[in-house]
Amino acid sequence: MDDTQSGANAAGYRVLARKYRPRTFPDLIGQEAMVRTLTNAFASGRIAQGFMLTGVRGVGKTTTARLIARALNYGDRPAIDMPDMGPHCEAILESRHMDVIEMDAASNTGVDNMREIIDSVRYAPVQARYKVYIIDEVHMLSKSAFNALLKTLEEPPPHVKFIFATTEINKVPVTILSRCQRFDLKRLDAALLASHYAGIAVKEGVEAEADALAMIARAAEGSVRDGLSLLDQAIAYGEGRVKAADVASMLGLMDRSRIIDLFETVMAGNAKGAIEEIEAQYQGGGDPATILSDLADYVHWVTRLKVVKEGALADSSRTEAEKTRGAEHAQKCGIAHLTRAWSMLLKGIRETELHSDPLMAAEMVLIRLCHAADLPGGEELAKIVKQAQSSERVVPMSARELLRNNSETPVESQGSLAVKPQVAAPTETRAFSSLKDLIALATEKRDIKLKTDLESLIRPIRVAPGQFELALEPGAHAGLANEIGRKLEAFTSMRWIVMVAKDGGDKPVARQRQEAKDNLFMTAREHPDVQAVLKRFPGAEIIDVKLPDDSLPPPNMSESDEEPR
């Protein structure tokens, strides 16, 4: 082949994403619900004047819009089943039909662009049955442009149809959405994408390994177009063959078995081995952030195997090593350890992406994971400390030693750090005998200001049905009592007399709550179990103490009457 012929072939090459763009509705993969709805609507003649297509990038929004435009102008009447190419089909699919107007809202955002559409809709189509306006990324239209389009969209001429596409449906005004028939195009799962790419590889005469296609499908993140672009790149990279090793190198991925090895090393608490493994993967071309992402993916996979084993094992996008070794890890690892590793990896991936030296950041993430891999949770830690106290050991132990010495040994907890207070049964009628009743009323009516004022700005003296005696806190405005009275009358449909005393009354509820929490914090710190934990783990601190909402005493209870908690 001479250079001229080679150049002509290169100039005429069509990328896979365009070459295998669906030309009929059966060609759309993973969108069965939408196809069924459109089929029934067209068969019954219940065709909407506007369609809204939404979904992530590359799932086929623009392609679907063109298919709908083709269906509207197909044959003698609109039809979803289009076995043959009609007189308008080719031009519509190639975006060159004069009656199917495609525009990008990103570059046509203003009201003047919408006025052009409004002025042109009155004219009948030149060739086709319907004049169809396809507006891509419609969420980028300005507010005035949306408003200008409203009336025309609601009552368009019978020969006009609108089709909108967007990746950010939340930015489209509800007034537009309510005038359209909405279709949410699904993100495709990796197994379906891998099968689709395998079929395209056969049509292209390309030899492709199943593991390589699975890698591409996972990297596509549900986007058909993204995956086809990667497949195009992989074919060129492998000179006509798509091999797993080449795809991994191209995407900066590592062999899945090495990610599993890294998982085992980390969960065993072997920090030295984890550092050596990630450095080896880095020298082999692996990206540190991608390695951590793959590790997080495997943690999620093991967690799924632990929760829904049979359903997870049916995932054809997973390698045999992931299924076999993953099932073993699901039996050995506890949910608490897996969820902790997941949370730490999510934070660590972000740190690695932002750091100037990604490998350094990734190593620190792995070191944290190794040291936290077998640390017990709070509840388990309390049991371990109790058992250690009962054995009268004095020598301080590390958390790892405590866990090792007490693993698989159930211990019944004889006490707790906090006892949930008894909750009184609700009464059927409201007596309004305490400030607590009034605060509950404000909460029920969703009056946040009244609730805040009752908790922070007044000192309650006496509460009875229709009567409320109080004293004001410094900083409360003079008209607060009248405001409270008006709101109580509106909420209860009874007359309220709000009397203001110069002094007296209990402390404001907000202050009582803070003091109760401070006391609870002090009580928790002095608890023997907490003292034991602080002693065995030097440097540990109590960060917070959760206070149940109903743990406060009634506002008219004095401090001396308050029961200890």
pLDDT digits (tens, 9 = 90+) for 471-497: 888 888 878 888 898 889 888 888 898
Question: Does 413 have pLDDT greater than 60?
Answer: no
| pLDDT tens per residue, range 89-109 | 999 999 899 999 999 888 888
pLDDT at 554: 44
In this structure, are residues 349 and 300 in contact, taking their beta carbons and an 8 Å threshold? no
Where are the chain's structural domains?
A: 16-184, 190-251, 256-372, 435-449+461-503
pLDDT tens, 118-146?
999 999 999 999 999 999 999 999 999 99
pLDDT band at 266 (very low <50, low <70, confident <90, very high): very high
> What was the pLDDT predicted at 337?
86
Query: CATH for 16-184?
Result: 3.40.50.300
Instruction: Give me the architecture of the 190-251 domain, per CATH.
Output: Orthogonal Bundle (1.10)
* Burial of residue 450, with CB atoms counted within 10 A of its CB: 0-12 exposed, 13-18 middle, 19 or more buried: buried
Q: 195-243, pLDDT tens digit by residue?
A: 999 999 999 999 998 888 988 988 888 889 999 999 999 998 888 889 8
Beta-strand ranges (E) seen in 383-472 are 458-464, 467-472
Burial of 517 (0-12, 13-18, 19+ CB in 10 A): middle
User: 104 has which bridge partners?
Assistant: 136
Closest CA to 51 of 20, 78, 84, 30: 78
Q: pLDDT higher for 321 or 165?
A: 165
Q: State residue 426's pLDDT score.
A: 40
Q: Full-prediction pTM beyond 0.75?
A: no
Is it the case that residue 411 has pLDDT exceeding 60? no
**Hey, what amino acid is at 221?**
E
E strands, 7-115, where? 50-54, 100-104
> What percent of the chain has pLDDT above 90?
33
**Residue 181 CB neighbours (<10 A):** 17
Quote the CA–CA distance of 254 and 262 in Å, as a whole number: 11
Q: What is the pLDDT of residue 538?
A: 75
Contact, 278 vs 262, CB < 8 A?
yes
Long-range contacts of 448-456 (CB under 8 A, 24+ apart): 450/484, 450/487, 453/480, 453/483, 453/484, 454/484, 454/509, 455/508, 455/509, 455/510, 455/513, 456/508, 456/509, 456/510
CA 334 to CA 459: how far, in whole Å?
51
CATH code at 256-372: 1.20.272.10
Average pLDDT along the chain: 82
The answer on pLDDT for 553 being more than 70 is no
Residue listed under structure tokens 């390589």: 212
pLDDT digits (tens, 9 = 90+) for 332-372: 888 888 988 999 999 999 999 999 999 999 999 999 999 88
Checking if the pLDDT of 285 tops 80, the result is: no
Read off the pLDDT of each residue in 422-431 and give the average, rounded to a whole number: 46
Give residue 162's pLDDT.
95
pLDDT at 410: 41
Reported confidence tier of residue 555, pLDDT bands at 50, 70, 90:
very low
